[in-house]
Structure 1
Amino acid sequence: MSRKFLETDGPAWVAEGLISEAQRQKLLARYPPEAQALGLLPLLGSVLVGLSALSVVAANWQALPDALRLALLLGSLTGAYAAGAYFLRRGNADLGHGLIGLGLMLFGASIILTSQLYQLVGYDVSGLVAWVVAGVALSYVYGSRLLVLLTVLIGAAVQTYCVQALGSFSYATAAMVAGGMGYYWWRRPDAVSSTVLAAGLLWQAGLLIVVLQAKITWFFVPAMFIYAAGDWQPNRAGGRALQGPPLVAAYLFMFGLATFGETDTYANVLRPPLLPYLGALGAVLALSVAGKRARGRLDTLPDWLLLLPGFYLPGGLPLAVATLVVLYAHAGSVLARAHRQEDPNQLTVGAILFVTATMVAYFKLTWAFLDKSLFFLLGGVLLLGLSWYLRRRNAQVLAAVPPVVPPASVPPAAPKSSSTSENRLPND
């Protein structure tokens, strides 16, 4: 239920006598009006004006004197921050944070253009790391989800540049994103920021695996460490949001094993040394179990089914059956948890996972039985068509029934006066 729904349908409820006006006002008080978001027109207009100015400057950049270039960079940077602070003081948080984010982007552009202007050493990434530091600092100062998103994206861009252009991994960048933004997430476990941070950290972990040229399954050790951090978060919604991207990555990997898992062919890519890998993953599992026990979330322990190292099995039928069993067990655990908690969203997710596992099993194990597949296809189409027809017919029948008008309320009968009986003589 929302306030808008109460405002539109509430007067009709009062008129029909379902609730009183006082009750409607109490319901409205439980859903205070949301703060009016600033329209996108001023923000889009500012962006277009800024892009126009940038295009003019870029077209004549090489012809401008060095002093004028620096003045333009410093002026645009200072102007963006000043305008953002001004609108924040005026109460326009959306536009203010947008301009602060624009200033952060201009700060990075100033670093790059200044390096080109003075022909600084191209393999020094200290300036780009300073860009990440500025993003972390602004995120703490203003507490904006937009700045968190920009900082994580900047960290991913800087790390990608280091890996692709320089062939090295910037541990300082990874530490700033993981440590700085991780502490921010711990203090402010917003669902959107948690998801963005987890995705950014997974990107950092993937680039580290690429630089180290390690087996790709080592990726799941830091990925599940991120998952374990979500188990220790007191805010359950924020913790589950952080765990979403690692679980998606683990599920996609298990899905790929079930569908294309010929590990004998890709053994040199998937199979790390057994004992070190299981030891590292077991340590993360122990940390996760401790967090679940401390926060009372042991019902989510079946999430770890997706991390069973089935890629050590030989390829072909054994691996296909093992991974399908894991997918079914994981889907069943999600459905069971959804029924216990009466969570419709989790119930939908569990149903989708179960159907996905069934589709994988069907196409992986019974694809050769074309006659059976056609039988199942026709049967499923008929059942779906029958269900649609019955629902439509039911809706038509209900629409044809006239609405039941409640009977008019009869005023209670007036109590009989006792004055007559009191004044009546006993012999009357």
Structure 2
Amino acid sequence: MNKQWMRSEGQKWVEDKIITNDQLELIVERYPETKDSRKVTGILPVLASILIGLGILSFIASNWGEIPPLARLSLLMVVMLAFYAGGERYLKTGNETFGTSLNLLGIISFGASIILLGQTFHLNAVDARLFVFWSLPAVYFLFRDRQKLYYFLLAVLTLGGQLYSLNEFQSFSYLLFTIFLISSGSFVFLYPRSLESWLFTIGLSLQAMMFIIAEDINFLWFFLFGFALFTAGLWSLKQVFKQPFNRLGTLIGFGFAYGLYFLLTNEFSSDFELPNPYAFLSVWIVILALSIIKKRKDSLYLHAWDLLIFIPLFYLENIAVPLFVGIVYLIVMFIYSGSKLAEGYRNENPSQINFGIVLFLLVCLMGYFNLAWAFMPKSLFFLIGGILLFILNAFLQRKKKQVLKNGGPHHA
């Protein structure tokens, strides 16, 4: 309920002598303002403050060369402190949305100030240290106010800084990774929220990917990271980490199977380099053992099939032709996605069913693409493919409705 709207409307009732002011206050207090209402009404102030802040910063940047150095420093300090002061003022009056948006602009102007001052004094960056300092205010405000907007900004700064380091210096910033891991991870651990846990999992995966690229490590090690992420989800004591780790780890494993099937069945395997089998398989065996131990501990013997996607079948290329290995990957993906779908139907879990449907349709799409692209007219190829996918999706969705008709999900 929007209290401001109630007071505005209620004042008309007071003027018409339907109720008194005291009665109006009692009515307003009876209906507390909901979070959803505050979210909706707070969107415009956030957008307005961001646009105003960006306008100020862009104006300063466009006229930067005409401003004396001392005046530049003073101007940047005034703008930044004005944002922070305004943010704190609105927070004290209870306007969290507007106060948070101004503090966000304070953080943004802090980073912009460092960049502009660096240009003024001709300072050359040799690493991503700028983003390390830039992310520290976001960490402070995140743990002080626990607002998700600070979490988003922290993720953008740490991941953006890592990408900047990779592009400009071909290096991986361990400081940025440490800040991301400790601050983002501990925040989700202390204050469990679904959206933030997904952002943390995605961010962690992107950090791992950039590390592998920066250190010029064989990219198939990222497949092993996906398996480790999946296993970490099995062992996680915090429920908020279980689904993101499990789902994203599965998608990484499935994505590799998807890509390897395409490469191995289309004669792209000539440049295909495998990681050192002794190191890779040693780590893989350890992760596999941890997965099996946890499944045995939780009596999940029938769910062991979900480890199928994490078998490093690409090593079969050493003893078999690439086409055969690719077909094996296609069979594995069909079995895996079909089993995931069947498990969702069995558990009457809509989320699991949807996940299984997406995986199954992706496998069908890739199989059809590889089979029909070479010899079928392209117009007919797209027409038949679209019709087949539409029919298959309709059948699976109908099956889903039938399964969920009598009671919905029985498992979380």
Q: CA deviation at 1:55?
A: 2.8
Counterpart contact for 1:108–1:131, Cα < 8 Å: yes
Q: Provide the residue aligned with 2:37 in structure 1.
A: 36
Indicate the larger mover: 210-219 or 335-344.
335-344
1:121–1:241 distance in 2 versus 1, CA, 3 Å: same
For 1:313, what is the secondary structure of its paired residue?
helix
Q: For residues 161-194 of structure 1, what are the alpha-carbon distances to aligned partners after superposition, in whole Å with 9 as ceiling and x for unaligned? A: 2222122221111122122222222222322112
Q: Provide the residue aligned with 1:206 in structure 2.
A: 209
CA distance in 2, matches of 1:323, 1:204: 27
CA distance in 2, matches of 1:202, 1:275: 24
Counterpart contact for 2:128–2:164, Cα < 8 Å: no
The reply to whether residue 129 of structure 1 matches residue 132 of structure 2 is: yes
Q: CA deviation at 1:323?
A: 0.8
Counterpart contact for 1:215–1:272, Cα < 8 Å: yes
Q: Provide the residue aligned with 1:222 in structure 2.
A: 225
User: Which one of the candidate residues 347, 358, 373 is aligned to 2:353?
Assistant: 347
The reply to whether residue 329 of structure 1 matches residue 335 of structure 2 is: yes
Q: Which amino acid aligns with 2:101?
A: G
The reply to whether residue 158 of structure 1 matches residue 161 of structure 2 is: yes
Q: CA deviation at 1:88?
A: 2.6
CA distance in 2, matches of 1:148, 1:181: 7
1:274–1:268 distance in 2 versus 1, CA, 3 Å: farther
1:298–1:98 distance in 2 versus 1, CA, 3 Å: farther
Q: CA deviation at 1:297?
A: 7.2
CA distance in 2, matches of 1:104, 1:150: 9
Q: Provide the residue aligned with 1:64 in structure 2.
A: 67
The reply to whether residue 274 of structure 1 matches residue 280 of structure 2 is: no
Q: CA deviation at 1:296?
A: 7.8
Q: Give the greater-gyration-radius structure (CA).
A: 1
Q: For residues 200-250 of structure 1, what are the alpha-carbon distances to aligned partners after superposition, in whole Å with 9 as ceiling and x for unaligned? A: 222222221122212110123334433333334344354212443333333
Counterpart contact for 1:198–1:246, Cα < 8 Å: no
Q: Which amino acid aligns with 2:95?
A: N
Counterpart contact for 1:167–1:211, Cα < 8 Å: yes
Q: Provide the residue aligned with 2:344 in structure 1.
A: 338
Counterpart contact for 2:171–2:215, Cα < 8 Å: no
CA distance in 1, matches of 2:362, 2:56: 51
The reply to whether residue 305 of structure 1 matches residue 311 of structure 2 is: no
CA RMSD of aligned residues (A): 3.5
CA distance in 2, matches of 1:295, 1:183: 26
1:96–1:292 distance in 2 versus 1, CA, 3 Å: farther
1:351-370 residue pairs with structure 2 within 5 A?
Answer: 351-365=357-371
Q: CA deviation at 1:291?
A: 5.6
Counterpart contact for 1:209–1:216, Cα < 8 Å: yes
CA distance in 2, matches of 1:176, 1:211: 18
1:298–1:149 distance in 2 versus 1, CA, 3 Å: farther
Q: CA deviation at 1:287?
A: 4.1
Indicate the larger mover: 292-301 or 207-216.
292-301
For 2:179, what is the secondary structure of its paired residue?
helix
Q: Which amino acid aligns with 1:68?
A: A
CA distance in 2, matches of 1:194, 1:34: 20
1:204–1:113 distance in 2 versus 1, CA, 3 Å: same
1:118-197 residue pairs with structure 2 within 5 A?
Answer: 118-197=121-200
CA distance in 2, matches of 1:281, 1:377: 41
Q: Provide the residue aligned with 2:404 in structure 1.
A: none
Q: Provide the residue aligned with 1:413 in structure 2.
A: none
CA distance in 1, matches of 2:315, 2:266: 8
Q: Provide the residue aligned with 2:402 in structure 1.
A: none
Report sequence identity in percent: 29
CA distance in 1, matches of 2:227, 2:133: 29
For 2:94, what is the secondary structure of its paired residue?
coil
1:8-23 residue pairs with structure 2 within 5 A?
Answer: none
CA distance in 2, matches of 1:132, 1:34: 27
Q: How many residues align?
A: 354
Counterpart contact for 1:230–1:240, Cα < 8 Å: yes
User: Which one of the candidate residues 233, 242, 257 is aligned to 2:260?
Assistant: 257
User: Which one of the candidate residues 220, 223, 246 is aligned to 2:249?
Assistant: 246
Q: Which amino acid aligns with 1:259?
A: F
1:136–1:307 distance in 2 versus 1, CA, 3 Å: farther
Q: Which amino acid aligns with 1:97?
A: T
- Structure 2: runs of 5 or more not aligned: 1-32, 399-412
For 1:120, what is the secondary structure of its paired residue?
coil
1:100–1:238 distance in 2 versus 1, CA, 3 Å: farther
Counterpart contact for 2:83–2:105, Cα < 8 Å: yes
Q: CA deviation at 1:320?
A: 2.3
- Structure 1: runs of 5 or more not aligned: 1-31, 392-428
CA distance in 2, matches of 1:134, 1:287: 38
Q: Provide the residue aligned with 1:50 in structure 2.
A: 53
Q: Scaled by the length of structure 1, what TM-score is found?
A: 0.72
CA distance in 2, matches of 1:147, 1:120: 29
Q: CA deviation at 1:293?
A: 6.3
Q: Provide the residue aligned with 1:319 in structure 2.
A: 325
Q: For residues 122-179 of structure 1, what are the alpha-carbon distances to aligned partners after superposition, in whole Å with 9 as ceiling and x for unaligned? A: 2154333222333333322221222112111111121122222122221111122122
CA distance in 1, matches of 2:298, 2:89: 42
